[in-house]
């Protein structure tokens, strides 16, 4: 198995933020892209599923999952997968403070899921832990330093 062209990985992850048609075309061209990740810098790694998750693109996320993408907590939150989020939070409450791609919070991911993720938002709020949705990307943090 050979490495995937890095330009193709970059394009795939970038397009997964908002372009389902491009995601479909690129995945047809190179099926191994489904779990590929891109480093935006400073260790800010993102998969196509991660891109779809923080932008609330359920259509893209569901397409990727159907094609074999590995679900993560942030995508589960956006998709309103309450039982998954509940199980992980029960096992390790500190996950509420973890950040996804670009430093975006779990709560922000859940909120991007709209009505379908309302129960996840409610669960996260019920923990009593602060659930700030603001974030700074590693690039923004570096620029401030």
Q: Is residue 105 part of a domain?
A: yes
**pTM, whole model, 2 decimals?**
0.86
Strand segments, DSSP code E, in the chain are: 37-39, 45-47
Range of the domain at 83: 6-144
Q: Which residues of 39-68 are buried (b: 16+ CB within 10 A; e: fewer)?
A: ebeeebebbbbbbbbbbbbbebbbbbbebe
**Does the pLDDT at position 23 exceed 50?**
yes
Q: Is residue 33 part of a domain?
A: yes
User: What are the φ/ψ torsions at residue 116 (nearest 5 degrees)?
Assistant: -65, -20
Residue 128 confidence (pLDDT): 74
Residue 123 confidence (pLDDT): 97
Mean of pLDDT values over 46-70: 98
Q: What percent of the chain has pLDDT over 90?
A: 83
Q: Which two tokens stand for residue 111?
A: 């909120």
**Does the pLDDT at position 63 exceed 50?**
yes
Q: What is the CATH number of the domain that holds 35?
A: 1.25.40
Closest CA to 11 of 30, 3, 2: 30
Residue 140 confidence (pLDDT): 39
C-alpha span between 40 and 49 (Å, rounded): 15
Residue 117 confidence (pLDDT): 97
How many residues are listed for the chain in this entry?
A: 145
The total domain count for the chain is 1
Q: Is residue 45 part of a domain?
A: yes
Q: What is the pLDDT of residues 87-137, one digit of tens each?
A: 999 999 999 999 999 999 999 999 999 999 999 999 999 987 655 554 444
Q: Which residues of 78-91 are buried (b: 16+ CB within 10 A; e: fewer)?
A: bbbbbebbeebbee
Q: What is the pLDDT of residues 27-43, one digit of tens each?
A: 999 999 999 999 999 98
Q: Is residue 1 part of a domain?
A: no
Neighbours of 132 (CB within 10 A): 10
C-alpha span between 23 and 70 (Å, rounded): 16
């Amino acid at each position: 198995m050979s490495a995937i062209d890095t330009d193709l990985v970059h394009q795939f992850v970038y397009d997964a933020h908002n372009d389902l048609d491009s995601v479909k075309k690129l995945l047809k061209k190179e099926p191994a892209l489904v779990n590929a990740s891109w480093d935006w810098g400073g260790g800010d790694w993102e998969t196509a599923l991660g891109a779809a998750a923080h932008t609330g693109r359920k259509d893209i996320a569901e397409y990727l999952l159907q094609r074999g993408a590995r679900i993560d907590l942030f995508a589960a939150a956006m998709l309103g997968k309450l039982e998954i989020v509940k199980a992980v939070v029960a096992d390790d409450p500190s996950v509420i403070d973890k950040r996804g791609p670009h430093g975006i919070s779990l709560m922000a991911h859940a909120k991007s899921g709209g009505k379908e993720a309302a129960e996840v938002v409610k669960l996260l709020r019920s923990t009593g832990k602060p659930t700030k949705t603001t974030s700074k990307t590693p690039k923004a943090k570096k620029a401030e330093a």
